[in-house]
Amino acid sequence: MGQDILDLQLVGAVLGGREDLALELIERGANVNRQDAQGMTVLHHTAARGARQAVRALVASGKCDYLIRDHMNRYAFELAREWGRDEATAELLEKKHVQQASARGVPAYVPRG
């Protein structure tokens, strides 16, 4: 199966609430960090929709890059807070973001002024 098809199936599975299928697709090689035309990953989309179960499945995969910004310079945790109106998910993603930045030795999020 082609990479594009796997990645599109992942988006459909996650947004359709099929966490089990999403994890299976990730195990088969679907790219959770693929960015669309707006620079958004599947994590950005699920965070923006407030799809908490989908976000949990993506986090559980251990493959998310929390430091990816979309073309509007937004992190997934910001979308969870601003669009998804889900503070708990935003806090989880922000914590993962800071941990990943620290592990990579790069600066963590600095709020835009």
For the cut 60, the answer to whether the pLDDT of residue 113 exceeds it is no
Cβ within 8 Å of residue 3, ≥6 positions away: 29, 31
Distance CA 77, CA 84 (A): 10
The predicted-structure confidence for 37-61, as pLDDT tens digits, reads as follows: 899 999 999 999 898 888 988 999 9
pTM value is 0.86
Cβ within 8 Å of residue 44, ≥6 positions away: 68, 70, 74, 76, 79
Average pLDDT score over residue span 90-95: 96
Which domains are delineated in the chain? 3-104 (1.25.40.20)
